[in-house]
Amino acid sequence: MSPIEYSAEVAELLGRVRRRPTAGWPWRPGEPVPSGLPVKQSWGWLFAPDGRVLTLVNPRDGICSLPGGSLEPEDAGDPGAALAREAAEEAQALIGRPYYLGYLYDRVGSANGGHECARVRMAAALRSVGPSAPDPASGRHYRRLLVAPGLAVELLGWGVPGLRQARVAVATAVQRLGVPAAANEAIEELPLAGCTVFPGSV
């Protein structure tokens, strides 16, 4: 097995990664959100052409995340619109068409005032990123990494349930976006000035 390639700057950042405790929300792959169960969040596996995904790292606390967040009134109840907006705000990212993967069932409702809700997961092409900037909603200024989906699960601290989710995301991206099933293993930080990642209309 060849070593994973990454720069000294990325090594320093990864040395500060801190994993959140897993919430244990059941993963419902491919199932539509039941009628009456509110969708409160939408998060995305955003793919580069070589199969890597965008993973955000907050350098202040070392917490990693996928792009995404809560649905807002301007999203009109559309998880895809929420993902596109959040990806732009958090990572200055332009994405392609989002594909629904499934949802996590949050029975405790920590994102819904203590009432049960759904947290949707989607996959999309990462078309480009603009110049790095703080998230206008939170002030967080994320570092933007491209990593293999399995490594993203490790950085996120999601364990076996996260691997199941990643497999659905990869299978969808292989079919819909034409990415390879075995992703490039290099860890790459996207340029501060921005760049094109996945050109085309996917």
Task: Give pLDDT, residue 14.
Answer: 87
CA angle, 166 as apex, 163 and 168 as ends, to 5°? 115
Q: What is the DSSP string of 131-162?
A: S----TTT----EEEEE-HHHHHHHHT-HHHH
Residue 36 identity (one-letter amino acid) = G
**CA 127 from chain center: how many Å?**
14
Contacts for 50 with CB less than 8 Å, ≥ 6 apart: 179, 180, 183, 184
**Given this model, what pLDDT does residue 167 score?**
97
> What is the per-residue pLDDT across 1-53, written as a single tens digit (0 to 9) for each?
466 777 888 888 888 898 877 778 999 999 999 999 999 999 999 999 999 99
Query: Quick check: 125 and 202 in contact, CB under 8 A?
Result: yes
82-136 residue pLDDT tens: 999 999 999 999 999 999 999 999 998 888 889 999 999 999 999 999 999 999 9
What is the reported pLDDT for 94? Answer: 98
Place of tokens 């993967």: 101
Give me the pLDDT at residue 2, please.
61
Query: Which H or E run includes 105?
Result: strand 99-106
pTM of the shown model = 0.94
- b/e burial code for range 54-68 (CB count within 10 A of at least 16 → b): bbbbbeeeebbbbbb
| Predicted confidence (pLDDT) per residue in 133-163, tens digit | 999 989 999 999 999 999 999 999 999 989 9
